[in-house]
Amino acid sequence: MLIAECIGIAIVIALIIAFIGTSSLRSELQSVRTATEANIYIKDGSFNLTKQDDIYVCKKVDKTAKPKPQQQAQR
Amino acid sequence: MALQEYRCPCCGGSIEFNSSIGKMKCPFCDTEFEMDALKELDQALEAEEPESMKWEGYEGQSWGGEDMAGMANYHCKSCGAEIITAETTGASACPFCGNPVVMMQNFAGQLKPDFIIPFKLDKNAAKAAMTKHFQGKKLLPSAFSSENHIDEVNGVYVPFWLFNSGADADMRYKATKVRRWSDNDYEYKETKYYTVVRSGSLVYENIPVDASKKMDDDLMDSLEPFKFDEQKEFLTAYLSGYLADKYDVSAEESVERANLRIKNSTAQQFMSTVKGYDSVQTENANIRLKDGSYKYVLLPMWILNTNWNGQKFVFGMNGQTGKFVGNLPMDKGKYWKYFFIYFFISFVIAFIGAYLLLME
């Protein structure tokens, strides 16, 4: 049972790592992309903030009851 | 159609721009020419009347408007060949005698480029960059690099619009801070809500948008950036030895792409000033451009074409900085080989790790 559990966990982790690894190798082949931003064309020192307000609006508190030790024992 | 060939006054050979020395040079007698001298020559040549040699007596079929749409013909002054080419081509080499030519007529009536960035890297550098581009790509089919023969390598001056603009922005965000704690009976989650306001401005300089329909927009985008501090006053002499296009996408048509980039970057810049929150959402973004202007420029690109397995691959190199881009094919066999290698190694490590953890 322990071995089966370990195999299951290892398969899931190995599939994820294999997918990420090969995706990284695939991305090496793609170097042509649409430019969607212009950060490198912002003139040095031109960014000027004239207004900077952080206004607190409200707060909300959610509380969740902790499971009782008795209830755990019954389960 | 008027052609401009620069002839060496010493030996009569066709001279061309040499990217390594930044001057015109005669490849036959190695004489070098200053660009300023050629500027004066340009001015004198512009004053010349176009050649006219009309023949009469033959009434053949004439080209209809539709036949000639997008085409232009010219005579090579060196060998007399008549060439038909796209009317947007501004410079080329005669395919019969190889003489570099500049088609002055194709630039007439259009905007003169405000400036040009000359080529700094030659064809050999482009080929070397392509070989380097193939290296270290584990999923690239071996046959692609070993059997690959570049069909065409062309140095092209690509027309671009450069957009300059200021941007004023008023941004409003909804942000939250979350705090959690617990006592004996309950777990608490406190969420504080904030309205975050940012206003300000920034300035964009030289956002390039390619102005040629023939060039793939994504390929051109990927070859950025250029060093615009190395720009030169436009002289047709720079075009000698290279292909050159004139714009066929207007600034008005191109501005949409520049606007999108400005909008996204402005939003990113202002968002980067909203700090210390657990979540931030943009509620309102008001971005206004001001003092917008644009320039027409020619930028240097090496374009390399090749075919493999019936598929066309186009690569590009920035003729100034040497940045090389181009999508490559994938070997599916190699993909699955690496997938199983990664899977096997990860599986062994994960199995041992899981076994040791569950044993404790």
> What residues does each domain of chain B span?
1-49+69-109, 123-135+150-232+244-329
Give start and end residues of each alpha helix (H) in chain B: 35-46, 65-68, 104-107, 123-134, 142-146, 217-222, 251-271, 332-359
How many CB pairs below 8 Å do chains A and B form together?
201
Q: Is B277 helix (H, G, I), strand (E, B) or coil?
A: coil
Range with lowest mean pLDDT among B65-79, B114-128, B290-304: B65-79
Average pLDDT over residues B222-241: 89
Read off the pLDDT of each residue in B24-37 and give the average, rounded to a whole number: 78
- Contact across the interface for B203 and A46, Cβ inside 8 Å: yes
Q: What is the pLDDT of residues B246-272, one digit of tens each?
A: 788 888 899 999 999 999 999 999 999
Considering only residues 7 to 66 of chain A, which have any Cβ-Cβ distance to chain B shorter than 8 Å? 7, 9-11, 13-15, 17-19, 21-22, 25-26, 28-43, 46-66
pLDDT above 70 (res B51):
no
Contacts of A24 in chain B (CB under 8 A): none
Contact A52 B355 (CB under 8 A): no
- With a cut of 50, say whether residue B289 has pLDDT above it: yes
Q: Which of B136, B195, B343 sits opposite A18 (nearest CB)?
A: B343
Residues 188-217 in B contacting A (C-alpha not used; CB under 8 Å): 188-207, 216-217
End-to-end CA distance of chain B, in Å? Answer: 87
Banded pLDDT at A75 (limits 50, 70, 90): very low
Reported as half-sphere exposure (CB side, CA atoms, 13 A), residue B204 has a value of 32
Q: How far is A52 from chain B (nearest CA, A)?
A: 5
**How far is C-alpha A47 from the geometric centre of its chain's CA atoms?**
29
Q: How far apart are CA B206 and CA B160, in angstroms?
A: 10
Distance CA B329, CA B140 (A): 6
Q: CA geometry: angle at A68 spanning A63 and A70, to 5°? A: 165
Contact between residue B66 and residue B73 where contact means Cβ atoms under 8 Å apart? no
Amino acid found at B60: G
What per-residue confidence (pLDDT) applies to B152? 76
pLDDT for res B45: 59
**What are the tokens at B261?**
């980039």
Q: Which pLDDT value is given to residue B108? A: 55
Residues of B in contact with A46 (CB under 8 A): 166, 201-203
Q: DSSP H helical segments within chain A, as ranges?
A: 2-27, 69-74
Mean pLDDT (chain B, rounded): 82
Q: What percentage of residues in chain B have a pLDDT greater than 90?
A: 48
B281 touches chain A (CB under 8 A): no
Q: Which of A15, A47, A61 sits opposite B190 (nearest CB)?
A: A61
Give the pLDDT of residue A51. 94
- The shortest CB-CB distance from A13 to any of B170, B269, B346 is to B346
**Top-ranked range on mean pLDDT: pick from A1-15, A18-32, A54-68:** A18-32
pLDDT of residue B150: 77
Q: Which of residues 134-193 of B touch A (CB under 8 A)?
A: 136-140, 166, 170, 175, 182, 184-193
Average pLDDT on B331-360 reads: 92
Residue B232 CB neighbours (<10 A): 12
Task: Please indicate whether residue B43 or residue B184 has the higher confidence score (pLDDT).
Answer: B184
Q: Is the pLDDT of residue B57 over 50?
A: no
Q: Is the pLDDT of residue B134 over 80?
A: yes
Tokens found for residue B230: 């190395």
What's the rounded mean pLDDT across residues A34-38?
Answer: 93
Q: Are B27 and B9 in contact, with CB atoms under 8 Å apart? A: no
Rounded (10°) CA dihedral B98, B145, B215, B93: 0
Is pLDDT of A72 > 60? Answer: no
Q: What is the pLDDT of residue A27?
A: 94
Confidence at residue B58, expressed as pLDDT on a 0 to 100 scale: 37
Q: Does B149 have pLDDT greater than 90?
A: no
Q: Within an 8 Å CB–CB cutoff, is residue B100 touching chain A?
A: no
Q: How confident is the model at residue B106 (pLDDT cuts 50, 70, 90)?
A: low
pTM: 0.74
Q: Determine whether the interchain pair A66/B359 forms a contact, defined as Cβ–Cβ distance below 8 Å.
A: no
Cβ contacts of residue B185 below 8 Å, gap of 6+?
A: A65, A66
Q: Is A5 on the interface with B (CB under 8 A)?
A: yes
Spell B51-77 as b/e; 16+ CB within 10 A means b: eeeeeeeeeeeeeeeeeeeeebebbbb
Q: How far is A56 from chain B (nearest CA, A)?
A: 4
For the segment B259-287, the average pLDDT, to the nearest whole number, is 95
Which one of B187, B261, B355 has the shortest CB-CB distance to A38?
B261
Can you tell me the mean pLDDT for B306-334? 92
| A35 touches B156 (CB < 8 A) | no
pLDDT digits (tens, 9 = 90+) for B87-103: 656 566 655 555 666 66
| Alpha-carbon distances, residue B49 vs B2, B76, B121, B212 (angstroms) | 9, 17, 35, 29
